[in-house]
Amino acid sequence: MMKSLTFLKPYRLTMGAAIFFLLVELIVELYQPYILSKIIDKGILNNDLSYVTKWGLVMLVLSVVAFIGGVLNTFYSTHVSQSFAFGLRKSLFEKVQTFSFTTFNFLPTSSLITRLTNDVTQLQNTVFMSLRIILRAPLMVVGSVVMALILDWKLSFVLFFILPLLFFFLNWMVQKGRELFKRVQENVDSVNSVLRENLMGMKLIKAFVRNDFEDERFQVINNNLKRKTATALKTMEVTMPVLLLFMNASILVVLWYGNSKVHSNQSNIGEIVAIVNYISRITSTFSVFSFIIMAFSRARASSERIEEVLTIEEDFIEKNEGNKLRNRIEGKVQFHDVSFQYPNTENDVLQDISFVAYPKTSIAILGSTGAGKTSLFQLIPRLYDVSEGTILIDDQDIRKMNSKELRGQIGYVPQEALLFTGTIKENLLMGRENASDEDVYTAAKHAQIHETILSFPNGYESKIGQKGVNLSGGQKQRLAIARALLRKPSILLLDDSTSALDLKTEAKLIQSLKEYDCTIFIITQKISSAINADKILIIDDGCLVEEGTHDSLLESSKLYKAIYYSQYGREEIPNAKGAN
């Protein structure tokens, strides 16, 4: 919890102001039963109206002061809690940006979303309540005890019995509450995770008619959340009746003992009224404690989860400590006996891969699904580092290169063309922020998407998504390619990025890529995308099993021939140029 609390440091002064006004409110409130006892004993019982009026007015003024104190305390508490949450969210977001893919393997997206939203809100509420209610509770208890003792310590002796009992009870509630709310928070996480999956995969769920199954799945975890929350709240609810019992019993003792003291002239009625008032304040404040326990138990669980994110060591890949690149990369890529294993897994997904891609050539990578093609791609921009072997770019080990600068020279179009909220132009400019309009149009033309963009009512300024244009899979793919081309990369990685294009558009696109002075890697399932490549690599079960040109592989490789026949039929065996 301590690390999260350091985010309160910049607001020490404002917190001071909030606490000051809380104290003003509290002192005034504590003083009021005392004045009340004087009004009863000296004013009402002596029939002294001027005394009653005078002290009645004082009580009124004090009530106004308490009100102003309360309002100002709320004002400053809100400011502190909102600013605290803002800072925490900002830091968490910045931290997540530094995560390597390895870290994302440990912390799933749904859990990160809960941590950045629910957990931060939980802490924000606790900070607010601490400054407004939580701090007030112990001070109110101590203040009431002191005031009651000042009024009549003999009459207040009952407090010496009741307070230890109340503390014992409170301690039990703290232990119980912590456990119960930790479980509630875990269940909130599960609900979020299933909700997220469902909302993102709605189309798939409908297409596979999985609604009933998903409904049932959600019911189960929703039910778990309901049960755990109900158990936690019910346990906490026990507090109130127990406290009422304590309160009524102690008031009864005060009244019984007070009665004999009044008759023997050792006490006044006003004092008894004031002490009863203090006792009810003490016990009702203890009822706030159950609320406080709930808040703290939840905040504790939330802060643990937040701190887990904040304390993750930055992966050395993302630290960008490698050598700066002096010049533009030429684009020679060499794999030397590269093996790779995902973090926390046991088997290599790539084994002993070796090949050379010369600058400005094109390399097509074919292979069945799950063969390891995407994994191989991810090693080039150092999204992951190799487990064994080396990857050289321009004869330099990429582990010695500054990863940020290396990625700056690579255009990567992932399998799933992801576009961000914003206009088409804004999405394209992610490739190169300072690109001119002319550069943007050229990249879009080469990606065969320029005409389509112009056909939208707002052209390049069209918004993407819910309130803007909806794009087809192929259009998204071409926009993602245009984004990568705008970067004028030295190495271009296309991960099955032309899968949704028709053959003619795809052929034009591949042709226009030649205008870019870069080494092109294309993962593809289609022979048509591979046929003109300078080199074709066939990956099977993590191993490089064949390497060559279309013509040489057609001669020598049974596997390539089989793929070829499955797509073109047996009759046609054209050479590379012919098949296009």
Ligand X SMILES: Nc1ncnc2c1ncn2[C@@H]1O[C@H](COP(=O)(O)OP(=O)(O)OP(=O)(O)O)[C@@H](O)[C@H]1O
> Which residues sit at the interface with ligand X, rule CB under 6 A?
105, 342, 345, 349, 367, 369-375, 415
Cβ count near 227 (within 10 Å): 13
Task: Describe the strand order of the beta sheet including 388-393 as a list of residue ranges.
Answer: 350-357, 333-340, 388-393, 396-397
Q: How far apart are CB 374 and ligand X at their closest, in Å?
A: 3
Between strands 410-413 and 491-495, the pairing is parallel
Question: Which residue number, 243 or 349, has a Cβ lying nearer to ligand X?
Answer: 349
Q: Let me know if 370 is exposed, middle or buried by CB neighbors in 10 A (0-12, 13-18, 19+).
A: exposed
Q: How far apart are CB 512 and ligand X at their closest, in Å?
A: 25
Question: Which residue number, 21 or 384, has a Cβ lying nearer to ligand X?
Answer: 384
User: Which has the closest alpha carbon to 518: 308, 331, 340?
Assistant: 331
Running DSSP on this structure, what letter comes out for residue 401?
B
Question: Which residue number, 359 or 414, has a Cβ lying nearer to ligand X?
Answer: 414
Question: Which residue number, 155 or 410, has a Cβ lying nearer to ligand X?
Answer: 410
Between strands 350-357 and 463-464, the pairing is unpaired
Contact 76, 131 (CB under 8 A): yes
Q: How far apart are CB 371 and ligand X at their closest, in Å?
A: 4
Question: Which residue number, 120 or 317, has a Cβ lying nearer to ligand X?
Answer: 317
Residue 367: phi and psi, rounded to 5, are: 165, 160
Point out which residues pair with 410 in neighbouring strands.
491
Question: Which residue number, 107 or 249, has a Cβ lying nearer to ligand X?
Answer: 107
Question: Which residue number, 353 or 447, has a Cβ lying nearer to ligand X?
Answer: 353
What are the structure tokens assigned to 406, written together? 């290396």
Q: How far apart are CB 344 and ligand X at their closest, in Å?
A: 8
| Strand stretches in 300-361, DSSP E | 333-340, 350-357
Q: How far apart are CB 347 and ligand X at their closest, in Å?
A: 8
Q: How far apart are CB 372 and ligand X at their closest, in Å?
A: 4
Distance CA 508, CA 493 (A): 18
Distance CA 150, CA 141 (A): 14
Q: How far apart are CB 246 and ligand X at their closest, in Å?
A: 56
What are the structure tokens assigned to 183, written together? 């479980």
Q: Let me know if 87 is exposed, middle or buried by CB neighbors in 10 A (0-12, 13-18, 19+).
A: middle
Instruction: Provide the CB-side half-sphere exposure for 482 (13 A, CA).
Output: 32
Question: Which residue number, 15 or 371, has a Cβ lying nearer to ligand X?
Answer: 371
Question: Which residue number, 414 or 422, has a Cβ lying nearer to ligand X?
Answer: 414
Question: Which residue number, 322 or 367, has a Cβ lying nearer to ligand X?
Answer: 367
Q: How far apart are CB 354 and ligand X at their closest, in Å?
A: 18
Q: 281: which residues sit within 8 A by CB, 6+ positions away?
A: 33, 140, 144
User: Which has the closest alpha carbon to 283: 258, 257, 246, 251?
Assistant: 246
Q: How far apart are CB 535 and ligand X at their closest, in Å?
A: 18
Cβ count near 204 (within 10 Å): 11
Q: How far apart are CB 204 and ligand X at their closest, in Å?
A: 16
Question: Which residue number, 349 or 509, has a Cβ lying nearer to ligand X?
Answer: 349
Question: Which residue number, 177 or 367, has a Cβ lying nearer to ligand X?
Answer: 367
Question: Helix (H, G, I), strand (E, B), or coil: what is residue 458?
Answer: coil
Q: How far apart are CB 499 and ligand X at their closest, in Å?
A: 10
Q: How distant is the alpha carbon of residue 223 from its chain centre?
A: 24
Q: From residue 71, give the alpha-carbon distance in Å to each of 21, 67, 299.
A: 9, 6, 25
Q: How far apart are CB 415 and ligand X at their closest, in Å?
A: 6
Q: Let me know if 574 is exposed, middle or buried by CB neighbors in 10 A (0-12, 13-18, 19+).
A: middle
What are the structure tokens assigned to 314, written together? 């930055």
Question: Which residue number, 16 or 370, has a Cβ lying nearer to ligand X?
Answer: 370
Q: How far apart are CB 105 and ligand X at their closest, in Å?
A: 6
Q: From residue 574, give the alpha-carbon distance in Å to each of 506, 551, 554.
A: 19, 9, 10
Contact 322, 400 (CB under 8 A): yes
Q: Is 328 left (phi over 0), alpha (psi -120 to 50) or beta?
A: beta
Question: Which residue number, 327 or 369, has a Cβ lying nearer to ligand X?
Answer: 369
Running DSSP on this structure, what letter comes out for residue 54?
H
Rg (C-alpha) for the chain, rounded Å, is: 36
Q: How far apart are CB 196 and ligand X at their closest, in Å?
A: 18
